[in-house]
Amino acid sequence: DVKVTQSSRYLVKRTGEKVFLECVQDMDHENMFWYRQDPGLGLRLIYFSYDVKMKEKGDIPEGYSVSREKKERFSLILESASTNQTSMYLCASSSGGARGGNEQFFGPGTRLTVL
């Protein structure tokens, strides 16, 4: 059974803290994605990666960075958390050739609150 796991379901951090969100997939997928989900705004792509050590900016990369040192793991980093980064963060992975776009498998999400 395919599986995408995220390190935390709930996380509370303070403004200015450095935050790491971890995502692991066990499907040997090339492509991994980080989204944030906010009411009325849907899923917005933050960063994605088509291969190890590769990363590309999505639609809203400001304030975030990513790391992909191993194929199965994709980390989202908030260098200095701010209250407007309070959100649900979803990780996803997909197979599919050189670039993504086929079925994406999502993790359960991490609800981050920045105080």
Partner 1 sequence: QQQVKQSPQSLIVQKGGIPIINCAYENTAFDYFPWYQQFPGKGPALLIAIRPDVSEKKEGRFTISFNKSAKQFSLHIMDSQPGDSATYFCAASEGNEKLTFGTGTRLTIIP
Q: Is 48 exposed, middle or buried (0-12, 13-18, 19+ CB in 10 A)?
A: buried
Q: Does 104 bind partner 1 (CB under 8 A)?
A: yes
d(CA 74, CA 26): 12
Of the ranges 14-22, 64-72, 78-86, 91-99, which one interacts with partner 1 (CB under 8 A)?
91-99
- Return the structure tokens found at 4: 């995408």
Cα end-to-end distance, the chain, whole Å: 37
Task: Give, as ranges, the residues between 39 and 58 that touch partner 1 (CB under 8 A).
Answer: 40-45, 48, 58
For partner 1, which is the closer residue by CB, 75 or 110?
Answer: 110
Chain residues in the site for partner 1 (CB under 8 A): 4, 33, 35, 40-45, 48, 58, 90, 92, 96-109
